[in-house]
Amino acid sequence: MQPVPDAQAGEPLERPAERVLLIGWDAADWRMIDPLLEAGKMPNLRAFLDGGVRGNVASLHPMLSPILWTSIATGKHADKHGILGFAEPDGSTGKVRPVTSTSRRCKALWNILSRRGLRSTVINWFASHPAERIRGVVVTDRYARPTGPPNEPWPGAPGSVHPEELAAPLEALRVHPGRLTAAQVRHFVGRVAEVNPGEDKLMQHLLGLLARCASIQSAATALIAEEPWDLFAVYFEEIDRFGHEFMEYHPPKRESVDQREFELYSGVMNAVYTFHDMMLGRLLELAGEETTVIILSDHGFHSDDRRPAMSSKIQAGAPVAWHRPYGVLAMRGPHIKRGEQLYGASLLDIAPTILAMLGQPVPDDMDGAPLTQVYERPVRVPRIDSYEAPGEEHDAPETEEDPWAVREMMVQLAQLGYVEDDSMESVARDRRRNLGQVYLATGRPLKALGEFRTLVEDDPDDKGSRMAVANCLLALGRFDECEALLEAVGEGDDALALALQYRGMISFRRGRVEEALDHLRRAEAKGGENPQVLGQIGFIYLARRCWTDAERAFDRALELDPDYAPALDGRGVAYRQQGKLQEAALSHMLSIALLHHQPDAHRNLGLALMRLGRLPWAVRAFETSLQINPHATAPHLALAQIYDGPLQRPDLAEHHRALAGAIAGRTGDAPPDPAGG
């Protein structure tokens, strides 16, 4: 194993981590964690954070766990890795099955490390079944799931453990729900003696989730101590699953919640977090102080007054309605800063960060970047074009599926609302819809348009896909086509508020400001206050140079959603135009801290810093804007202005003016005012 070099201060680290422990907590959220930390109820996490860094991590769209956790493991968007939902077609049977490792189209971290001679242990990762034949251990996401009725023994799922000789000892560690005692459940439900599990479905769900979580922890604690590893990755999905079952019972009481159920189950969610803290303590103890540890969630989960009106149970509506777009990220280990905030991280950054930690080249075909800012000293990050090789043998063998287990998992997914049903046609539509969302979220509206139009052609009554088509047309600037589609949305249609919002955006893009405001206000009247609509109203006020009106609109949007990054950026512009320069810079920085890849927000931050006289920082902000969007002219012109003036570098000023002119010549646009809003 390559040691960390004994380097002088400032010398770049070649391999900053001896080994890495990655702990995945699905749907963990700082809004739930921070009050528990303050109350002293998560002492292990508290000590961890005091010795490391923490921050938000931006999720991806769509916010579905198999997609997100595969992006975490690969550093790539879903159109590259190929996992597009909870289920997939099974070519050998003509039926559908839960997603498998054989469908992933690119290497995960453990495949890369295995080929580089490093060992990994991977436990319960989404879409990890059948177990891949890597250098190390794989315990798949089928390991802790039942393979038979709850009143019978559960044989291990074929292919759920690699190497196979570990299957029997690991299966003996699994926890059956029927073996849980009242004393063990009392941590979650204080009045457990009043509940009959045979009649109470909530208690049945709680027991099943708790048993699965305990099974994963049992396997993790055994393997972390007994097997050699460079990367140890363990995933717990229970915060998310408990959230969908029990978050509606979390205080304060909602009117729709039964009083007795509230009294029984109001403490479940806090207990889930404190239980995870106890599990964390044991994993940290076994990993040792010299291990670099990453704690991560794929998204957050609404828990406060912004909880959706619908039930948290997935059966009652779309699963993602309760998901927040920011998860938790915390790191601790040798050379990592202590007690600091981490800003601008994305799920796509985790894989390249771990490769850099272990001294391995980061490939150019990953969509994220290593988070080297967490280190006290520079880190040398070697690069490589790709780890993918055409025709290379897959690490995952095809394995015979257990029909009972597959059927039960598909029924459960359908009941939870993750798939419409278990037909091939329904699963194919889900996958196409998710791919369309990936394309749209990553700035490829033309590709998205093809996916959503196919869905509408197959089912003209699919309102969601029709509105997605309108969104794509809007993004492409095909306003006439978009308006023609929106004309079909009538007064009684539940999509009317969204249609009015799109109409407002079209009117604004056409320069019809008053008409745009009218559409957006009608959208508010139909659909209620909405941070996106209020944000668009704020940007219209910016265009009208009504700075205080814009500030008020953005403030209201942020009251509804404090993490709405575009409103923070827009409010910064309004502040700057009113001469509130410190407030402007802070608002832009808060926006960038939530979503790093916003070229306009970096440019706006640069403009505020210019007026504050913080010129080196302004230069860095403009350069970052150009790194994200190299085709923008305004940052070049702003840099030319800085280099012409106080920094006295006419050569650089001329260089940036020439680049701006070349870009404007290619696009046919006139260069903008660099100090514009």
C-alpha torsion 667→670→675→677, nearest 10: -70
pLDDT digits (tens, 9 = 90+) for 76-94: 999 999 999 988 877 666 6
Rounded-to-integer distance, Cα 261 and Cα 194, Å? 11
- Other beta carbons within 10 angstroms of residue 48's beta carbon come to 20
* pLDDT in the model for residue 268: 96
Rounded-to-integer distance, Cα 220 and Cα 233, Å? 9
Nearest 5°: the CA angle 117, 334, 290 is 65
Rounded-to-integer distance, Cα 606 and Cα 585, Å? 8
In the chain, which stretches have pLDDT less than 70? 1-10, 91-94, 147-153, 314-318, 394, 396, 398-422, 667-677
Rounded-to-integer distance, Cα 354 and Cα 371, Å? 9
* pLDDT in the model for residue 645: 85
Could you give all domains of the chain from N- to C-terminal order, each with its CATH number? 21-384 (3.40.720.10), 443-525 (1.25.40.10), 529-595 (1.25.40.10), 599-677 (1.25.40.10)
Q: Give the residue among 288, 286, 294 at the shortest CA–CA distance from 52.
A: 294
* pLDDT in the model for residue 7: 38
Q: Give the residue among 353, 360, 188 at the shortest CA–CA distance from 270.
A: 188
* pLDDT in the model for residue 316: 47
Work out the end-to-end distance of the chain between its first and last CA atoms, rounded to an integer number of angstroms: 53
Q: Which helix (H) or strand (E) holds 472?
A: helix 463-475
Going by their DSSP bridges, the two strands 136-139 and 161-162 should be labelled as antiparallel
Helix 496-509 and helix 463-475, axial crossing angle in degrees, nearest 10: 10
C-alpha distance from residue 293 to each of 56, 315, 342, 375, 663 (Å): 16, 35, 15, 13, 44
